[in-house]
Amino acid sequence: MIGIGSGAKKGDRDIPNTTFPALLRWKWKVLVVDEAHRLKNANSLLHRTLTQFSVGFRVLLTGTPIQNNLQELYSLLSFIQPDVFSAEETDDFCSKYANVQNQPALASALQGVLEPFLLRRVKAEVAVDLPKKTELLVYHGMSALQKKYYKAFLMKDLGEAVVVSVLGAKYSD
């Protein structure tokens, strides 16, 4: 992405320097969103911002796609495929599946809708070859400086300790 934007020359910098409008002009092949449960509110700044990008394919990663209600689920579906799950049909979707917990046929129908969009994996399925987690606690004493800061923190005199440590005792008055 180095060189995006007006006046940028390829190879000018080691760090990409661009603007949001320049990023929006790109046709991105894939957008991967980790912690996608943050997109459950269709009115959130993150959701509105990411929907502005021209993207060929979207992938959402989350451990909790269905957490609170159907509206949040629909928000994720709408983000993935807005042509199929339009924002205007949110209420229809929520009404249609509102009683899903009490009607097995309705639950089955909802599973059919979700099946092309959800891939669920649990650690037991994908991490079969991993050894069990082991924890090793190592206790280590504090350095003299750490003890000084800790004591100052406990005495609510951290500002003084930092000034003395950084600038020296003559600047603490």
Region 59-80 average pLDDT: 87
Question: Is 106 in the same domain as 75?
Answer: yes
Question: Taking each helix axis from N to C terminus, what angle separates 144-154 and 158-167, rounded to the nearest 10 degrees?
Answer: 150
Q: Which domain holds residue 81?
A: 2-125
Residues 79-134 pLDDT 10s:
999 889 988 899 999 999 998 888 999 999 999 998 998 888 877 777 778 888 89
Question: Is 63 in the same domain as 142?
Answer: no
CA angle 168, 171, 173 (to 5 degrees): 125
pLDDT band at residue 45 under the 50/70/90 scheme: very high
Q: Is the pLDDT of residue 12 over 80?
A: no
Is residue 131 a part of any domain in this protein? no
Question: Rounded CA gap, 48 and 42, in Å?
Answer: 7
Percent of the chain clearing pLDDT 90 (strictly above)? 36
- Count how many domains the chain has: 2
Evaluate if pTM is beyond 0.75: no
| Residue 128, CB-side half-sphere exposure with 13 Å CA sphere | 3
CB 61 within 8 A of CB 89: no
Q: Please list, in sequence order, all residues whose beta carbon lies within 8 angstroms of the beta carbon of residue 74, skipping any fewer than 6 positions away.
A: 85, 90, 93, 94
Which CATH number do you get for residue 76?
Answer: 3.40.50.10810
